Structure 1
Amino acid sequence: MSASPGGTSASAAEALSPRLAAHTPEPGRDSRTGRLSFCTKMCYGIGGIPNQVASSAIAFYLQLFLLDVAQIPAAQVSLVLFGGKVSGAAADPVAGFFINRSRRTGSGRLMPWVLGCTPFISLAYFFLWFLPPFTNLRGLWYMTFYCLFQALATGMALPWAGSWVSSSAGFVPGITMEMAGTLMGAAVHGLIVSGAHGSHKCKDIALPDPVAITPEAGLETSPPPQFCPVPQTRLYTIAAAVVAVTYPVCIGLLRLGVTEQPEPSTPASSQGPSFLAGLGLTVRHPPYLKLVISFLFISAAIQVEQSYLVLFCTHASQLHDHVQSLVLTILVSAVLSTPLWEWVLQRFGKRMSAFGICVMVPFVILLAVVPTAPVAYVVAFVSGLSIAVSLLLPWSMLPDVVDDFQLQHQHGPGMETIFYSSYVFFTKLSGAGALGISMLSLEFVGYTAGVCKQAEQVVVTLKVLIGAVPTCMILTGLCILMVGPTPKVPSPDTSRRLSLRR
């Protein structure tokens, strides 16, 4: 799974207050209850689909595309992944700063940001999967468009997710549509490009060219050429175009069905501390520091597992034809198990639920040792279970940390979003470091782009990246999470008061 719904910027905390309303207040809103209509909620939820579709496709397939289709060195791929992730993390506070200071227009204060980013992010996503005619500067080409995509995705996601901070009206349709978008991204992109990496590719290459042998002379001409990436490029271009079109379509529906209400004025006396001052306070709060450090390891492990699954199936096992099915198994398992994990969180507590993350540990090690199809499907299913709880757990534990902080410090509003957004910022940086360093390891062991059979040391490295690396990071994160200070649970009355205040 890709981006989580909590990924909003701290600097945007004050900007994310406008509520959603139907364009036509009479049919779109129940005047007696003030509730939003079903159509308005669905249009709002649809607005979150494009980013999830694109992020899901990138998470599973971008590395394979850069290595085997674009055929750029693994060291440059490392820089592309690291640069893109860092640009996305840096764009959070920058976009929040400008959104917070933007003026209200006829379309509202947040909607112009969504509409303005739409054409540019569509183009950035399309060119991210486009093969330029030159070869020397391809690494720079893909880094430029990946950084642009990550920054623009943040600029679009912040205002769209704003109502989640100020109101829960859009939360259920929002998260439902995001889950649907995650499945759509992997399914649509994977189905289109599945023919580019199947086992038949290498079988075709293995067949001798009829004119390659001269019977009269008994001599063999030059060997068949390396696999030509043109058919692969065409498939990836089609997939990119299909996903890019979802941006204007979905944002168009969002604009037609949803608009902003003027936000109520906030008394100056209720303003909280500045972002930098609040960040300094939050990082010194022991329960929050423990939570962030533990999930730096856990979220990085999940990203490594997702990113290298397709590469492992393609180059370290005979699972070429099962890639699409395995990806969908992971995502469907994660989506369907989410309600179960919500029940477990409430029934057995958050610390006990954290052990659900390590369920995948023995199975990923088994996949690295026995890379067969039956084992792979079991691992995919179990990995989906662990991914679901790893996404739910931090967002269920952060409110406890925030309540504990507020009870101790009694600061004004705005601290909640500083906690949430700084968590997103740090986890994005951890993912950037993990993916960048792990990709460098493939460069060191001699990964060769475009070949059907990699060297043995490359196969071993992929097994380590799919098994040992996530295992060590998950266990480290859980050990940190289980020790050290825990937030104090407030009384029911205090908890209710803090919830109303939020």
Structure 2
Amino acid sequence: MRENHSQEEKLSFSTQLAYGVADFGPSMAGNILVIFFLFFLTTVAGLPANLAGIILLLSNCWSAISTLLVGILSDRTTCAWGRRRIWMLASAPILGFSFFLLWWIPPNQDWLKFGYYLAIALLFQTAASAFVVPYGALITDLSDDHNDHLRLNSMRFGFSLAGCIGSLLLSQLIAHWIYNPRQQLFELGLICAAFTVVSIVSSCWKINEHPHTPKSTSSYNWQGIKTILCNQPLLMLVGIYALSWLAVQITPAILPYFVINCLKLNSAVVTQVVLLMQTTALVSLFIWEPLSKQLGKKKVFALGSIIWIVAEIGLFYLQPGEQFTMYSLAMVAGVGMSTTYFIPASMLPEVIDWDELTTGERREGLFYSILMFIYQITFAIGLFFVGQWLDWSGFQAAIPGPIKLVQPHSALVAIRQAIVILPTTALIISLILTYFYPINSRVHQYTIVKLKKRRLATSTSS
């Protein structure tokens, strides 16, 4: 039987801290990957934009598939260390090593480079799935309490944003000492890989996960799939999570093209803009978390999304050289973006409890993997679309050198459209889904009470 944590039994601060630390290093690596990898492939490694887009599409599609496999397997894992931490520990060295290899440039032709980067990207995404799915599902093994979920996710994404900010500060420091972009990213990849391994291992060492036999014993046949498809809160949350995180990830991926080509600013401004955005998001967490307890998660998420959309619209009208306006809009976007970091993830435990009350099954790993699966597919399609859109618009890939390429007007229009239209559309649809999402704090409290009565009755009868 699953160990029950009463609402009165609050998690210690050390447990919250240890849980959050695990996301510090992976967020450093993930942030660098999102911001620089597409740009690295097309501008440093010299791959055509369409081939770079295919690499991102295939690797992220595989990541989506692997998250489902890891979710099912981690629910069924039995280990003295607990069913989640053993996956996190095993993933750490592979995740760090494969991330480092992504920034090495083989001395080969385009198709050989394509094969190399695709293979390493697939390995990296496999290891990432083995970490992120058990890590996300671990939260429901630590507590049943609604406010604990908010605190744990706030701590997690606080460390996540701190890792993102740290990676950008580190990139600025390396750029100050090393001029060559190729060497800069190689050194940055090595350091972020080391932080990834250390943060995951140290977190697993400190978290006291309660070992138990997994309750989920379903065979995932058609009947099991049918119960998932009938889970309306889950389906709506999948859409909210996937679309809002698509906006979070796609914006910094397109930002280097927008800043350098459309605004005619120095490449160092890219890091500064993302740094401002993520620092503002981190500070805003301390405002949004208590506000979400007063207003509810749905209202806070809607308010943050609207603020972010306003900032995105402002980006569309920026003209070359408007650097300080760009900084201001980045800060406004960061305030809104902050809600995406922790609100959708905090809604998942509510869906898991609702599903247990309805079906009698406890499927944390599977549900988190479904969220990640749809998100990865959405993100892969988004990145593929950006790569193909740039290629169709006539964007010219180039290796850095003394000769600066001037992009055609069609490419500049495509970049401006991509950085505004895609994130804004995703946020608007996620807002619509949030409005119809059926679970609030009152419904969740009722669900917890009913579950506790059922568990007590089951414990007494056995």
TM-score category (smaller protein): 0.7 to 0.9
1:174-223 CA deviation, whole Å, 9 max, x = no partner?
A: 444333222222332354247889xxxxxxxxxxxxxxxxxxxxxxxxxx
- Residue 155 and residue 480 in structure 1: after superposition, are their counterparts in 2 closer, same or farther (change >3 A)? closer
Q: Does 1:324 align with 2:271?
A: yes
Q: Does 1:472 align with 2:425?
A: yes
Which sits farther off after the overlay, 454-463 or 395-404?
Answer: 395-404
SS in 2 for 1:333: helix
Give the letter for the 2:342 counterpart: L
User: Where do 1:419-458 residues align within 5 Å?
Assistant: 419-450=367-398, 451-458=404-411
The answer as to whether partners of 1:78 and 1:439 remain within 8 angstroms in 2 is yes
Q: Does 1:342 align with 2:324?
A: no
Q: 1:237 aligns with which of 153, 167, 186?
A: 186
- Residue 287 and residue 61 in structure 1: after superposition, are their counterparts in 2 closer, same or farther (change >3 A)? same
CA separation in 2, counterparts of 1:280 and 1:179?
37
| Matching residue of 2:460 | none
Shift of residue 133, structure 1, vs aligned partner: 0.8
| Matching residue of 1:47 | 22
CA separation in 1, counterparts of 2:137 and 2:343?
21
Q: Does 1:180 align with 2:162?
A: yes
| Matching residue of 1:204 | none
CA separation in 1, counterparts of 2:226 and 2:310?
39
Q: Does 1:72 align with 2:47?
A: yes
The answer as to whether partners of 1:50 and 1:250 remain within 8 angstroms in 2 is yes
Shift of residue 108, structure 1, vs aligned partner: 6.5
Shift of residue 251, structure 1, vs aligned partner: 4.4
Q: Does 1:379 align with 2:354?
A: no
CA separation in 2, counterparts of 1:298 and 1:80?
23
Give the letter for the 1:132 counterpart: P
Rg comparison, structure with higher value:
1
Q: What TM-score, normalized to structure 2?
A: 0.81
CA separation in 2, counterparts of 1:495 and 1:183?
38
CA separation in 1, counterparts of 2:235 and 2:391?
34
CA separation in 2, counterparts of 1:165 and 1:304?
29
SS in 2 for 1:453: coil
The answer as to whether partners of 2:75 and 2:363 remain within 8 angstroms in 1 is no
CA separation in 1, counterparts of 2:42 and 2:107?
16
Shift of residue 453, structure 1, vs aligned partner: 2.2
SS in 2 for 1:454: coil
1:114-133 CA deviation, whole Å, 9 max, x = no partner?
A: 44333322221111011111
Q: Does 1:297 align with 2:243?
A: yes
Give the letter for the 1:235 counterpart: Q
Equivalent pairs counted in the alignment come to 433
Q: 2:36 aligns with which of 57, 61, 72?
A: 61
CA separation in 1, counterparts of 2:450 and 2:158?
27
CA separation in 2, counterparts of 1:362 and 1:73?
33
CA separation in 2, counterparts of 1:274 and 1:418?
12
Give the letter for the 2:254 counterpart: Y
SS in 2 for 1:367: helix
Shift of residue 329, structure 1, vs aligned partner: 0.6
Shift of residue 43, structure 1, vs aligned partner: 5.2
Task: Determine which structure has the larger helix proportion and give its number.
Answer: 2
Q: Does 1:250 align with 2:199?
A: yes
1:60-81 CA deviation, whole Å, 9 max, x = no partner?
A: 1111111110110111111111
| Matching residue of 1:228 | none
CA separation in 2, counterparts of 1:343 and 1:490?
17
Give the letter for the 1:85 counterpart: N
Shift of residue 37, structure 1, vs aligned partner: 8.4
- Residue 315 and residue 176 in structure 1: after superposition, are their counterparts in 2 closer, same or farther (change >3 A)? same
Q: Does 1:128 align with 2:102?
A: yes
| Matching residue of 2:309 | 361
User: Where do 1:133-152 residues align within 5 Å?
Assistant: 133-136=107-110, 137-152=112-127
The answer as to whether partners of 2:354 and 2:444 remain within 8 angstroms in 1 is no
CA separation in 2, counterparts of 1:302 and 1:346?
23
- Residue 287 and residue 144 in structure 1: after superposition, are their counterparts in 2 closer, same or farther (change >3 A)? same
Which sits farther off after the overlay, 322-331 or 173-182?
Answer: 173-182
Q: Does 1:463 align with 2:438?
A: no
User: Where do 1:81-92 residues align within 5 Å?
Assistant: 81-92=56-67
The answer as to whether partners of 1:18 and 1:263 remain within 8 angstroms in 2 is no
The answer as to whether partners of 1:403 and 1:498 remain within 8 angstroms in 2 is no
The answer as to whether partners of 1:118 and 1:248 remain within 8 angstroms in 2 is yes
1:81-131 CA deviation, whole Å, 9 max, x = no partner?
A: 1122112211112224444555637x6665554443333222211110111
Shift of residue 385, structure 1, vs aligned partner: 1.6
1:347-401 CA deviation, whole Å, 9 max, x = no partner?
A: 3344433142022223323222223112211111111122111233323444555
The answer as to whether partners of 2:74 and 2:365 remain within 8 angstroms in 1 is no
Q: Does 1:352 align with 2:299?
A: yes
CA separation in 2, counterparts of 1:492 and 1:145?
42
CA separation in 2, counterparts of 1:188 and 1:495?
45
1:313-348 CA deviation, whole Å, 9 max, x = no partner?
A: 122112224222111111011111123222333333
- Residue 196 and residue 34 in structure 1: after superposition, are their counterparts in 2 closer, same or farther (change >3 A)? closer
- Residue 110 and residue 488 in structure 1: after superposition, are their counterparts in 2 closer, same or farther (change >3 A)? closer
Q: Which ranges of structure 1 fall in alignment gaps of 5 or more residues?
A: 1-13, 20-32, 198-230
| Matching residue of 2:253 | 307
SS in 2 for 1:346: helix
1:139-158 CA deviation, whole Å, 9 max, x = no partner?
A: 22112111211111221334
The answer as to whether partners of 1:335 and 1:388 remain within 8 angstroms in 2 is yes
- Residue 319 and residue 360 in structure 1: after superposition, are their counterparts in 2 closer, same or farther (change >3 A)? farther
Q: Does 1:192 align with 2:166?
A: no
> Percent identity at matched positions?
22
The answer as to whether partners of 1:304 and 1:465 remain within 8 angstroms in 2 is no
